[in-house]
Amino acid sequence: MLYKEGFGNVLFSKGTSDNLLHLTGKEWDPEVQLYYFGARWYDPEIGRWLSREPYKLDGPNLYQYTFNDPINGYDEDGLDFVDLVDLLGIDQAKPLTPSTKPIYKDFFENKIQYQDDSVLE
């Protein structure tokens, strides 16, 4: 089991593993100590890519490669965004079951209350 910090560096590990897939499911190359993302290499030591974004999405936004949605999408080979919601045919507008309807209703209709009892309206 590997324990990593946010940029992909291994903090410590327990046991051994032959699994080379690590950060965002990309392959770790132990020979060069870099992650291979299909179209370019990532160095976790400096938290930077070693080449320009081939999809021409360079900039300060680290999640631009997934159109700001790294939870519901990914970039398999560094050249194209895949939307998991579309791929899996998930309808986000409807509750998944009748039992979830009250949860959605409560979430969207009620005000947000902070710990100090102030309310966001």
pLDDT tens-digit map of 24-64: 667 778 899 888 877 888 888 888 888 877 666 556 666 66
The answer to whether the CB of 3 falls within 8 A of the CB of 13 is yes
Q: How far apart are the first and last CA of the chain?
A: 44
Enumerate the domain spans of the chain: 1-51
pTM: 0.44
> What percentage of the chain exceeds 90 in pLDDT?
2
Q: What is the pLDDT of residues 94-103, one digit of tens each?
A: 545 656 555 5
* 43-83-77 Cα angle (round to 5): 35
Instruction: Tell me the CA distances in angstroms from 115 to 60, 94, 119, one per residue in order.
Output: 33, 31, 9
